[in-house]
Amino acid sequence: MNLKSELSRGFFKENAVFVLLLGMCPTLGVTGTAVNGLGMGLATTAVLVGSNIVISLLKNFIPDKVRIPVFIVVIASFVTIIELTMAAYLPELNDQLGLFIPLIVVNCLILGRAEAFASKKKLGESIVDGIVMGLGFAFALTLLGAVREILGFGSIFGVKFVAEEASTMLLFILPPGAFISLGFLTAFINKLSVKKG
């Protein structure tokens, strides 16, 4: 398998957010800043890779009729591990992301990849799929977070580049701004993908 084509798949052609339109809830909810988007994206990637590995290893032992409950228990376990680890070692990020960390369990990207990929493919392929789809998700969230932070706060990754009293487009930190930014970025990324062919 070609690493470059895999990355291109995860970041552009099959990007979870801009193309597959999965995991919209955290995408809109935590991307007020680039750092939050990146943090959430990486936490989701960790869960995705972990669950893909376990599900791929167990795929021949999971009876078909109970596969969804099994996937969910595996995913929820990884999310809880990430949640406890963040509460212990990354408290500021944990406070910022708050309720959205446990909500990773219902991020349909993870259950979707488990069902469509990890439960059918070999371990190596599943790991790679987890990494590229997860990083593509993180890329989308960081990009969206950066756009909203630049327009809404006048800063990027916490570094302000406008004057203290300068008025910024606060709309972009609020929900309507999230939808607007997401819409434009989705159109832009899809246009790019079409050109690349």
Partner 1 sequence: MAEKKKMESTFFNMVLMLTVIALASSLTLSFTYIQTKDAIAAVQLKKTIEAIKKVVPEFDNNPYESRYVVEGFEGVEYYPAKKGDELVGTAIKTFAKGFTEDVVIMVGFDKDGNIVDTSVIKHKETPGLGSKMGDSKFKDQFKGKKPDPEKGINVTKDKGEIDAISAATISSRAFCKAINRAYKGLLKKEEK
Select from 5, 68, 91, 187 the one that contacts partner 1 (CB under 8 A).
91
Q: Does 176 participate in binding partner 1 (rule CB under 8 A)?
A: no
Number of other CB atoms surrounding residue 140 within 10 Å: 25
Q: Does 62 participate in binding partner 1 (rule CB under 8 A)?
A: yes
Q: Does 89 participate in binding partner 1 (rule CB under 8 A)?
A: yes
Pair 145, 33: CB distance under 8 Å: yes
> What is the H or E stretch that residue 184 is in?
helix 175-196
User: x/- site string to partner 1, residues 6 to 45, per CB under 8 A?
Assistant: ----------------------------------------
Select from 1, 2, 60, 176 the one that contacts partner 1 (CB under 8 A).
60
Q: Does 63 participate in binding partner 1 (rule CB under 8 A)?
A: yes
Residue with Cβ nearer partner 1 (92 or 183) = 92
Q: What are phi and psi of 18, to 5 degrees?
A: -85, -20
User: x/- site string to partner 1, residues 68 to 87, per CB under 8 A?
Assistant: -xx--xx-xx--xx--xx-x
In whole angstroms, the minimum distance from the beta carbon of 92 to partner 1 comes to 10
Pair 42, 26: CB distance under 8 Å: no
Size of the site for partner 1 (CB under 8 A): 23
Pair 115, 106: CB distance under 8 Å: no
Select from 1, 2, 4, 65 the one that contacts partner 1 (CB under 8 A).
65
Q: Does 116 participate in binding partner 1 (rule CB under 8 A)?
A: no
Q: From CA 41, how far away is CA 174, in angstroms rounded?
A: 20
Pair 149, 87: CB distance under 8 Å: no
List the one residue out of 55, 30, 47 whose CA is nearest residue 106: 47
Pair 164, 50: CB distance under 8 Å: no
Q: How far is CA 49 from the centre of its chain?
A: 12
Binding residues for partner 1, rule: CB under 8 A, are: 58-66, 69-70, 73-74, 76-77, 80-81, 84-85, 87-89, 91
